[in-house]
Amino acid sequence: MDKLAWLGYVIEWMGAIAVVMIAGTSPLFKSIRRIDFRFPRREATFALSVFALSYLVAFQYFGNPIFQFLLDFSKILPGGELAQRTLLAVVCLIFFLLATFLRGQPLKSIGWGKANFKPGLTLGLLLVIIAIVLRGKFNTMLQGITSEQGGLLLTCLLLALAEETIFRGYIQLRLNSFLGSTWGWLATAALYLLWQLPGRLWVLPFAQLWPTLVVALAQALLFGWIMRKSGHVVTTVLFRAVAAWLLFL
């Protein structure tokens, strides 16, 4: 990754932080409802257990020939490795949804509550706008997008929807309740960093792997912080999906 690419990320992240801090002064964000759990230790145990299952599946997905049919199926989406990781995230999201609904828990327990939807959506759209501005893609988008670029947007949206619901929704909310907001946020970021290793560890040379891990860690910390401010996963889904898609334009 060259210096210009790093600069683009840093500017985008700083812009996002500024938008969140400014938006946080609005009365709309003063009424955000925080999620807590009656039995935080039990919820944290469920979160870590389902993550461990998903992590095992992830290594098998990329390394076991039995799962080659899934890798082939991922080709219905454009993006190559991005599409592969999207399908993996969607499959693993099913585990987390089952852990939620079979236990009779509401959508708000995974970051999709109605109460915080309006501020979450508002902040998400503001972050989308600032990402487009800082990446200088307004003119490009006004000229229209190709069908391939539209397909890549769909891939980015699906990946963001699945992974943000898993990490910022299910896992972070439960670890926040058990460990406290700061340690829960940091622990979730660490798990998200580990999530980047399947399909890359022992496959990519370190020179290619470390930039991916650094960007993933920075994004995990940023997305987790944004989730704490907005209280809704829709914020990070929109920002992350569009920010990733802009890199393809």
Contacts from 142-151 at CB under 8 Å and sequence distance 24+?
145/249, 148/78, 149/245, 149/248, 149/249, 151/77, 151/78, 151/79
- Using one digit for the tens of pLDDT, what is the confidence trace for 40-94? 999 999 999 999 999 999 999 999 999 999 999 999 999 999 999 999 999 999 9
Is the pLDDT at 32 greater than 90? The verdict is no
- Using one digit for the tens of pLDDT, what is the confidence trace for 84-96? 999 999 999 999 9
pLDDT of 219 reads: 97
- Picking from 194, 222, 217, 181, the residue whose alpha carbon sits closest to that of residue 20 is 222
pLDDT of 27 reads: 87
Query: How many Å apart are CA 227 and CA 111, to the nearest integer?
Result: 9
Stated pTM of the model: 0.96
pLDDT of 30 reads: 81
pLDDT of 1 reads: 78
